[in-house]
Amino acid sequence: MQKQVEYLEAIKTKYPEQVVIAVAKDKNGKANPVTLGWTMIVSGNPPMMAIAVAKKHYSIDAITHSKCFTVAFPSEDMADAALFFGSRSGRKVDKFAEFDCATEPASQIDSVLLTDAVANFECRLESQTDAGDHTIFIGKIVCSHASTEPKKRLYTVGPGHKLGPAS
């Protein structure tokens, strides 16, 4: 049976929610990672992904500048990196300089891959659109990478940025 409730009550049922780390270089060439839960695949042919980024976030500037971004699926053992990248602002700090997280250059876009992620998708910005307090960036996937070791994705498993395996 359904009962009408406040949105914030109903949305508590969403967990586990996927986590990605999106990376884009700013105008100074600094790669800036941000942890996001609001993301989806949006096209199969060609493969495309979308991410929703809060309008106040520095990543808006970086993606708008570089017109490309990496979408990485962090692995279960990357919870601390995901929390760090999601709680600091690239306006104030160089997140990759402050938190030890292996990266390597992307091959088709001017961004970096996360070496220990489950997978990385190199996206060229196709379009962007407004949605309330977020901007949706839609990217065409131009190159894909996967971990050479078997790894599982990281999820948000409960309120308060509680991260862990989905199962």
- Chain residues binding its own copies by CB under 8 A are 1-7, 9-11, 13-18, 37-48, 50, 52, 73, 104, 107, 113, 115, 117-121, 126-127, 129-134, 136, 138, 140-141, 143-149, 151, 153, 155, 166-167
Choose between 28 and 45: whose C-beta lies nearer to its own copies. Answer: 45
Choose between 9 and 98: whose C-beta lies nearer to its own copies. Answer: 9
Q: Shortest approach of its own copies to residue 27 CB, angstroms?
A: 26
Residue by residue, DSSP assigns 19-76 as -EEEEEE-TTS-EEEEEES-EEEEEETTEEEEEEEETTSHHHHHHHHHSEEEEEE-BG
Q: Shortest approach of its own copies to residue 149 CB, angstroms?
A: 7
Choose between 93 and 126: whose C-beta lies nearer to its own copies. Answer: 126
Q: Shortest approach of its own copies to residue 19 CB, angstroms?
A: 12
Choose between 24 and 114: whose C-beta lies nearer to its own copies. Answer: 114
Q: Shortest approach of its own copies to residue 115 CB, angstroms?
A: 6
Choose between 27 and 56: whose C-beta lies nearer to its own copies. Answer: 56
CB 62 within 8 A of CB 137: no
Distance CA 92, CA 111 (A): 20
Strand partners, 124: 68, 140
Which of 89, 44, 75, 53 is closest to 163 using CA atoms?
75
Q: Shortest approach of its own copies to residue 106 CB, angstroms?
A: 10
Cα–Cα distances in angstroms (integers) from residue 96 to residues 5, 11, 84, 138, 140, in the given order = 41, 32, 10, 24, 25
Taking residue 160's Cβ as centre, other Cβ atoms within 10 Å add up to 6
